[in-house]
Amino acid sequence: MTLNDVTSPTITCPANTTVAANASCQGAVGSYSAATLSDNCNPSPTVTQSPAASTLLTGHNATQTVTLTANDNNGNSANCNFTVTLKDVTKPVITCPANVTINANASCQGTLAAYAPTTLSDNCNPTPTVTQSPAAGTSISGHNAVRTVTLTATDAAGNTQTCILTVTLKDVTPPAIVCKAYTANLDATGNVSITPANVYQSGSDNCGVVNLVSVVASSFNCSNVGNNVVTLTANDGNGNTATCNATVTVRDVTPPVAKCQNVTANIGPSGTVTVPAASVNNGSTDNCGLTLTLTPNTFNCSQIGVRLVTLKATDPGGNMSTCTAKVNVRDITGPTAKCKNPTIYLDDIGHATLTAAQVNNGSTDNCGITSMSIDWTSFNCSELEGSPWSVTLSLKDASGNSSTCLGYVTVKDAIAPTAVCEDVTVTLGSNGKVTVYSEDLAFNSTDNCAVWSYSPIAKLYTTANLGPNNLTITVKDWSGNASTCVSVVTVISNQNGDYQGGVDDEEGNVDPFEFVLYPNPSSGNAMMAFLLPAEQTFTVRIFDATGRIIYSHIQMGLEGENFMPLRLGDLTPGVYLVDFQSESWKTQKRLVLQR
């Protein structure tokens, strides 16, 4: 016989409960125990809870049914239920604005506004209700009257919080006052005084009374003759001040004594001169002082010479007298010379003309420039070297004033030579070679200044070149301008063992001619060093930048190494072309002279 437990446990739940909402308006279900628990066979039945502890509730009055289940571990169970409710018990947070001052109106009253809190929040209600006491529109009367305003925030759960601010009524309206004109006559000492009542006509204020405070100015003397604006100041006793202006007429009836003197006035940089009345005044007087005016007082370049002017002396009372004087108007300011550095180009005959306008860089004069000239106008090829050149610009105005400035002119040649080549027939030497020189073939080339070099200097032909050959020759001037022409060099064989045209290269040496010029640049003296294959004559010529021959020398050279000094101390610094020719060789080198 088997004994089985078929009786369920007995379980009683705790009473319904509440949890307080946190700052996020949430709360957690707790871990709950049965109010009573028993079983016929198991003294400690197992109890489980659903939902589990820490389950979140969100929102005021949110509820959760919690079930407790008892199990006697013999397959018998029982349960009970109770309710957990989330409650919002946290007050809203409210901050009032700063205390407020309102301005009294024309009746010395003000009205409370609807004031909004500066901060307002609640853990469960994003928009708590805000009420104000006393309500907006409530009136306050009287300067410095104070009313306390309470703002109350109420959330959906009925939680409330308050804050307060004060509202103060301020009289900020100045009194309204009206001034009147007043006439004051100087006494025997030339003085007079007035009071605020002399210039006050009427006044009113919204909250207080009108109190006369001061009038400025209140004392006058001869310097105040005529209409004087004075300021009347009044207050209302509440710190508000008002002013109005009145005209006080001070009178004087004694005319001045005008005295003049002749003066000289110099035209200024703007082409005008203004003569102060004080410079023409020669001790004019008045019992109460005077004001001086000069007519005319401004002169320009068209008025140079002696001009008649009138000095008028006026006292504060409007009394006046006049005298006349002569003003000698002069221009003694020279022109302002401004130069620039122009570049000019030589024409096809090697000349260039410079004008004053090319050197002028906006020169000015207060009365206008009447003449403009330069001391150097014509330039040629000889000025290519040593450029730029200084040029003096001279200016004069109508009054004979003058000034100068320096410009620096750069002379350039941009015209290329006219290359002219000749055709030639040359015969190979006994060694089957012949050399021709470009200078011989392009000798008729011309330039507006001078042909400076021929390239290539020489060309070697062999049996491989029999027949016509095109030789392109580049002709350059001193400025580096270049042009080319073509010579047809016809090479024929030497049937009889002799040759015509060109240079017979007996040794077959096609290495460049060894020619040294040193020092280079030189301060005046230089040395030529060269090798000759045999005793023979040689010619040395030196050309300047314009292509002129300035030195020529013929001498017998020795086989082997030769030296020849060049004494050039009398030549001006610059670039020169040294031309060397012998029976075997031709070459050209540039030599720079500098001090």
User: How does pLDDT run across 161-201, given as a tens digit for each residue?
Assistant: 999 999 999 999 999 999 999 999 887 677 899 999 999 99
Tens digits of pLDDT across the chain (595 residues): 888 888 999 999 999 999 999 989 999 999 999 999 999 999 999 999 999 999 999 989 999 999 999 999 999 999 999 999 999 999 999 999 999 999 999 899 999 999 999 999 999 999 999 999 999 999 999 899 999 999 999 998 999 999 999 999 999 999 999 999 999 988 767 789 999 999 999 999 999 899 999 999 999 988 888 899 999 999 998 999 999 999 999 888 778 899 999 999 999 999 999 999 999 999 998 878 889 999 999 999 999 999 999 999 998 778 899 999 999 999 999 999 999 999 999 999 889 999 999 999 999 999 999 999 999 999 998 788 776 999 999 999 999 999 999 999 999 999 999 999 999 999 999 899 998 888 889 988 889 987 877 888 778 999 999 999 999 999 988 788 999 999 999 999 976 433 344 444 443 333 345 788 888 888 878 888 888 888 899 999 999 888 888 888 888 888 888 888 888 878 888 888 999 999 888 888 888 888 6
347 occurs within a structural domain:
yes
pLDDT of residue 473: 93
pLDDT of residue 495: 61
- Same domain (yes/no): 499, 441: yes
pLDDT of residue 335: 94
- Same domain (yes/no): 436, 491: yes
- Same domain (yes/no): 230, 189: yes
> What is the domain range of residue 454?
424-504
- Same domain (yes/no): 147, 99: yes
Distance CA 495, CA 249 (A): 132
Dig out the tokens for 270 from the structure.
């703007």
Query: Residue 440: enclosing H or E segment and its boundaries?
Result: helix 438-441
- Same domain (yes/no): 83, 98: no
- Same domain (yes/no): 477, 547: no
Name the domain boundary from 387, 412, 437: 412
150 occurs within a structural domain:
yes
Query: Residue 439: enclosing H or E segment and its boundaries?
Result: helix 438-441
338 occurs within a structural domain:
no
Dig out the tokens for 67 from the structure.
């079930």
Tell me which residue has tokens 């000025």.
383
- Same domain (yes/no): 272, 221: no
| Under 8 Å between Cβ of 68 and 10 | no
Question: What's the number of domains the chain is made of?
Answer: 7
For the stretch 219-265, pLDDT in tens is 998 888 889 999 999 999 899 999 999 999 988 877 889 999 999 99
- Same domain (yes/no): 114, 76: no
- Same domain (yes/no): 554, 529: yes
* CA distances to 185, 440, 467, 478, 591 from 420, in Å: 108, 11, 22, 18, 27
Looking up residue 58, the CATH number of its domain turns out to be: 2.60.40
160 occurs within a structural domain:
yes
Tell me which residue has tokens 């011989």.
440
348 occurs within a structural domain:
yes
Name the domain boundary from 479, 504, 529: 504
- Same domain (yes/no): 428, 491: yes
Q: What DSSP assignment string belongs to 192-205?
A: EE--HHHHEEEEE-
2 occurs within a structural domain:
no
The residue type found at 471 is: L
- Same domain (yes/no): 307, 356: no
419 occurs within a structural domain:
no
Identify the sign of the CA torsion 206, 211, 213, 215: positive
Q: Is 223 helix (H, G, I), strand (E, B) or coil?
A: helix
Dig out the tokens for 375 from the structure.
């001391």
Contacts of 267 (CB under 8 A, 6+ apart): 273, 299, 300, 301, 304, 329, 330, 331, 332, 333, 366, 367
Distance CA 29, CA 18 (A): 9
pLDDT of residue 512: 42
510 occurs within a structural domain:
no
Name the domain boundary from 296, 330, 364: 330
- Please give the model's pTM, rounded to 2 decimal places: 0.45
Dig out the tokens for 68 from the structure.
């407790």
